[in-house]
Structure 1
Amino acid sequence: MATIKLPTGETIELTQEEYLNLIKLGQDTAKDGDAFTDNVDLNEVILEGITYELSEESPTTGDYIIFKDSKYDFITAGIPYKVYKNSWIDVYVIKDDEGDNLSLDGENYLTYKMKYTPREQSFIEYGRGVNELKEGDIVSYLNNKFVVVHVDNYTDNIAAVDGQTRFSSFKFSVKLETPVEKLLS
């Protein structure tokens, strides 16, 4: 699933097939000499539920890149590729369309870095500020789920229980699993 943010601020969700068809259509209709991505706003992309933003920095492991154009049959312009580190030769690579490693040296691409960690994203997807917790929220910590029973906004501490164990921690160490509003609806 791919999410595209339109210049109007609206977002649309597309299946992988719909996204590829959009890229192909854009490539077919791009002006001579222009890459398709020159005509599309790609400042922010959402991949697998995580928001990535355009960056001037060099890509590292876990980032995504999008080729503006491609001189190869095994690379599709406009498609996000995840970046890996090849420890054998100490360079960053992607898996191309044929499943082979491709070094990024000398290639023309846009770099996307994670805007929010998955933990931070868990708050944002429910319309909350990062670390905004309420009593009754279900949170996870070290693969265990707890219900928040107290929030101290002065010290950023929370108290939570899992039915048997009382747990106390800082707000920034837990992930929001289910907000209380969703439980009550």
Structure 2
Amino acid sequence: MTDFDLPEEFDEENIVSKTSIKRDMHKLQALGKRLTELKPNQLEKVPMSETLRKAIDESQRITQREATRRHMQYIGKLMRAEDAEAIQNAVDLFDASSKAFAQALHSLERWRDRLIEGGNETLSEYIHDNPNADIQHLRQLVRNAKKDLKNEKNTGASKKLFRYLRTIDDMDNETTP
């Protein structure tokens, strides 16, 4: 076999360059850095192993620059064993500039508008989809928002309804793994 001959079991399609491997590792390290910047209540909603969670908690204690850099590399190494896509999706829900965050808000706005414009069927559909909702409180908020719309006033009832829908959505996201 000469220097230019390749073994028969060699598969060109499965070649991964060293550059692409490094690029992927840097992406994982950047995602790990974003995890260290989240608030504790947000971190609870991110699916990750206990080892990674402890490393992120430890990063809050480290203040020296070189130690922080090495610790970020360690977090990047731990990220290789994690489900990076699930973590990225969870982090995107907290990032106001992400598409996932915007889509979640638009979905809640559509529900608010449907509840205000619709009848009991729409309310029943929402309650069926979100069993955590306080039915009596939700009905009162919808009633007040409809009253504002009918009287062409703005007492903030629509905004209160939206906030409550967002609270319900947050509660549902906490219970869903």
If asked which structure has higher relative contact order (CA below 8 Å, sep 6+), I would say 2
Q: Greater strand percent: which structure?
A: 1
Q: Greater helix percent: which structure?
A: 2
